Chains A and B, each alone.
Chain A
Amino acid sequence: MSHSALDSGTAAKGSKPAIDPAPGRPRGAIGQPPRKPRRSFLPYGLILPAAILEILIHIGPMLLGIWIAFISLTQLNLTNWLNAPFVGLQNFVNGLNPESTIGQAFFSTVGRTLGYTVLVVGFSWILGMAGAVFLSSNFKGRAILRTFFLVPYALPAYVGTIAWAFMFNQRDGAVNQILVDTFHLFGDERPFWLLGQNSFGAMIVVNIWQLWPFAFLMLMAALQNVPHEVYEAAAIDGATLWQQFRTITLPMVRPANGVLLMVMSLWTFNQFNVPFVLFGASSPKEATLVSPLIYQNSFGSWNFGLGGAMSVLLLIALFIASVFYIRMVLPKGADND
C-alpha cells in the first residue's frame, strides 16, 4: 500500500514537464543533453495491465464500499443491492452518535485500536532493531539465528495464530501449563487469556510475534548499507556502543524506519486476522479492534450500511494520517539518501 503511495509520489514529481527539463528521468541525469521525447503509447501500454487490475481489485471495491455507506443495505435487499434505499448520512450519524450503544462502541474501539497499534508497533520495532543490531556483527551461528527469527514471518498467519489460540486455552493450553503447573504463578489459579482483560494482552503478544520479524528483516537490510568504517572511526574516537547506536545507526536507518513504521502501523491498525482467529466472529469487549467491529456490524447485525460508514471513517482517518506522515517524515528520510 505504502509502496504504491510512494511510487505515485515520485511519478507526480517527474510529471511536471514545464519545470523539469527531462520528464520521467532521474534527477541525476539533468546535466546530460535532453533527449527529444517521442510520442509513444508504450508507457501507457505497459502500465495498462496494472492499471486495470488496480481498478478491479482496489479502486472498484473501495468506491463500492463508499457507496454502501450511504445506503440502507440489509439482507432484505442484498440480492438487489443497486436498489437499496439511499439514506444519506444516516449511517454515519448512527455510527458517530456518542449517546448510542453503537457510537459508544465505535469511539472506545478506535481509542483501543490506537493504543494497540502503538504497543504492537513499538515493541515489534524494538525487538526487530535489537535483533538486527545483534545479527549485524559476525559470529558463528548467525545464519541459523536469522532463519530462526524469521519463522513467524514465514508461517501462514492463520496457522501461527491458531497455534497461539490453543496455547492460550485456559484449561489445557501450554501457557497455563508452563506458568501455573511448572512455575506455580498466579496462586495456582489458571487465568483466562482469551477472555476479559487478558485477551487484549494475549492479542498483542500474538501480533508482536507475527510482526517483529518483518521489522527485523527490513532493519537488517538497512543496516547492511551502513559502512563499517564509520563505526570503526567512531570507536577510535571513543564512542560507546550506545553512542554509536544513537548517532550512527539510528540516523543511517532513518529512511527505512520511516517506511517501516508507517507500513506496520497501517497493518496493525487494520488488524483483523489475529482477533478473528483467536476469538472467533465476536471479540471480547476488552479486545475489540476497529476492523472486527466493522465485521460484527456488517455480518453479525447484517447492517452493511453501518459497517460501510465505519469503514469510510477509518479510510479517511488512515488517509489523513498517512499523508501527514509522508509529508512530515518521509521527505527528511529521502534527503538522507
Chain B
Amino acid sequence: MHQPHPHQLDDEKTGATMKNPLKVLSTLTAIASLALGLSACASGSPQATSDTITYWASDQGNSLDDTAAKLKPSLDRFTEKTGVKVNLEVISWTDLYNRILTAVTSGDGPDVLNIGNTWAVTLQETGAFEPVEGKLLEAVGGKDRFLKTSWSTGGAEGKTPTSVPLYGLAYNMYYNTKLFKEAGIEKAPVTWDEFVADAKKLTKDTNGDGKPDQWGFTAAGASVSANSHQAFIRGLQNGGSLFDKDGKPTFDSDPQVEGVKQFIDLMATDKVMSPSDAEISQGSQKVDNVINGKAAMMFDQSPLKNFDARGFKDWGVAPMPMMQAGATGATGTQSHVAGINLSVFKNSKNKDNAIKLAGFLTSDAEQVALNKAYSSLPVVTGASSDTAFQTAEVKAKNDALANHAMPMPLIAKEGQMETLTGTAIKNLFAKAATGSVSDADIEAALKDANNQMAAAQ
C-alpha cells in the first residue's frame, strides 16, 4: 500500500536513517488499518439519507425477483407521492427469521421490514420495533380500518402492538381436478378419514413399474415452519394444544402426539405421500408436484401465483379436512391466522419516512394492488370488497380466517416453539422415508422438543 521512496530503501541497507521513516510508515499503517476497520464496521449500516429508506420484504411471489417486480410499481408510486426512495431487499423465508434476529441483535437493520405474523409476539419482546401508537397508528389510519383477526396478530394481547398487518393468509386444501376426475372422486373430502381414503385412491402406479408415481398428498416435509403449523392445527383438531393454561409446553400430550401421528402416517403407514417429500424444504416444490400431476392434494396458503405463472388451470380449492364434519371452536380449526405484518425498526434514522411507507402500503388502494399480485387477502375492510377478492378461492380463504382459524400461540417463545416442533416433524418424516416410524418414535421426538422448550423458558 505504502511504497517507500527509493532513497529510503538505500537508507535501509545502511541501517543509518531508517528509523524515522519506518516509524512514520508503521504509524501510518496503523492509522490506515484502524480507519479501514472502522469504515468496514460502518459500511454495514444503511446510509441514512433523508430521502432514502430501506425496506426488507418477505418473499411473497414465485421467486425473489418476482416479489420485487410485483412490489416495484407500489414503491414507485410511493416515491412519486412523497419523494422518498425505497431501497428494497426481498429476503427468502428460510433466511428472514435469522436476518431479523441479526438486525435486532446488532441494532443495525432496515427502516421498515416484513415479519411472519406468528413471530410478532416473539419479536415484540425484543423491544426493537416501534410501538404502533401515536404517529405510526395515525399513519395507518387507526386500528378500526383493519380486520379484527388480522389486527390481533400485531403483538401480545393487552400490549401495544409492534407490527401492523400487511397481507392476510389462511390454509386451504388445493387439489388437482384432473387427477380427482380420473380417480372418480366427485367432491373434495371433508373429514380426515375421507381425506386419507381419497388420498389412497389417488396414489397410483401409472407406468406399471410396481411403484407409485402419483401420490395422493404432498407436503414440504423438511419445511420447519410449515410442519409447525400442522402440529398446531392437528393438535387442536384432536382436542389438544401446544401449551397448557399456565403456558407450559405440552407438545407430548396425547392429543398432540395423535395429531402429529396423523400427519406423519400419511407417509409412514397410509403411504399416500412420496418418501421424497421428506427432502422438500421449499413450499414451491410441493406446488410443482400438484401442477405436474405427481401428487393430487396439498395444504397451502397461497399457491395461485404459482398456478397462474405456470398456466395451470386444473385446480380446485376446499377447506382443510377436519376430524369431524362441521366441527366448530378449537376442534374445528383449519388454519392458523396466517399472514405477513409490517414493522418499523426503532433504530431507524429515518422514522418519519418509514412511518409514511407503513401508511402507504396499508392504504386501501395499495392493499388491493399488492394482495391481488400476491394472491393473498387484504387486511383492511376497505379493500376486501374489491371485485378482485370475490373469487371462490378468496372466499374459501376468508371463511377459513373468519370461522376456522386460531392465532398461533401468542407467547414470547413462539419462534422457538416453531423451530422445535417443526424440526421434530422434519426428523420424523426423514425416519419414515428411510425406514419406519413407531408410535414410540413420535412420542419420543415430541418429548425431546418439549424438554428443550421447557429448558429454553
Contact = CB atoms under 8 A, between A and B. Distances in A.
A301 B456 contact: yes
Contact of B33 (A52, A302, A306): A52
Interface stretch (B50-58, B59-67, B122-130): B122-130
Interface residues of B, number: 51
Contacts of B281: 280
A4 interface: no
A263 B128 CA distance: 41
Interface in B95-147: 98, 101, 104-105, 107, 122-123, 125-128
Contacts of B98: 281, 299
Residue picked from B22, B104, B281, B419, most chain A C-beta under 10 Å:
B419
A141 interface: no
Nearest to B33: A49
A285 B415 contact: no
A75 B222 CA distance: 25
A301 B435 contact: no
A85 interface: no
Contacts of B275: 170, 192
Per DSSP, chain B at the interface is helix
A80 B125 CA distance: 12
B456 A74 contact: yes
B27 interface: yes
Contacts of B412: 75-76
Nearest to A95: B455
B26 interface: yes
A195 B278 contact: yes
Contacts of A282: 224, 419, 423, 426
Contacts of B451: 100-102
Given A46-B26, A49-B29, A49-B33, A300 B419 contact: yes
Interface stretch (A22-30, A37-45, A214-222): A37-45
A41 B453 CA distance: 56
B435 A52 contact: no
A300 B423 CA distance: 10
B279 A301 contact: no
Contact of B278 (A102, A192, A280): A192
Contacts of A78: 101, 104-105, 126, 128
Contacts of A284: 427, 430
A280 B33 contact: no
Nearest to A169: B279
Contact of B433 (A45, A80, A196): A196
B19 A196 contact: no
Contact of A301 (B33, B126, B222, B452): B452
B456 A75 contact: no
A301 B101 CA distance: 12
B434 A301 contact: no
A182 to B, nearest CB: 17
A32 interface: no
B23 A45 contact: yes
Interface string A170-205: 110000000000000000000010111110000000
B126 A281 contact: no
A76 B125 contact: yes
Contacts of B431: 196
Interface in B441-455: 447-448, 451-453, 455
A200 to B, nearest CB: 12
B276 A171 contact: yes
A52 B416 contact: no
A307 B413 CA distance: 17
Contacts of A45: 23, 26-27, 30
B272 to A, nearest CB: 17
Nearest to B102: A299
A303 interface: yes
B423 to A, nearest CB: 5
Interface string B73-115: 0000000000000000000001000100100110100000000
A75 B30 contact: no
A79 interface: yes
B105 to A, nearest CB: 5
Contacts of B448: 101
Interface of B: 19, 22-23, 26-27, 29-30, 32-34, 37, 94, 98, 101, 104-105, 107, 122-123, 125-128, 222, 224, 275-276, 278-279, 281, 412-413, 415-416, 419-420, 423, 426-427, 430-431, 433-435, 447-448, 451-453, 455-456
Given A78-B105, A281-B94, A282-B423, 19 more contacts: A40-B19, A45-B23, A56-B37, A75-B125, A76-B125, A78-B101, A79-B105, A79-B126, A101-B452, A102-B452, A171-B279, A192-B433, A195-B433, A196-B435, A281-B98, A282-B419, A300-B419, A301-B456, A302-B101
Give the 10 A-B CB pairs with smallest separation, nearest first: A196-B434, A45-B26, A49-B33, A195-B430, A101-B451, A171-B276, A300-B419, A49-B30, A282-B423, A301-B456
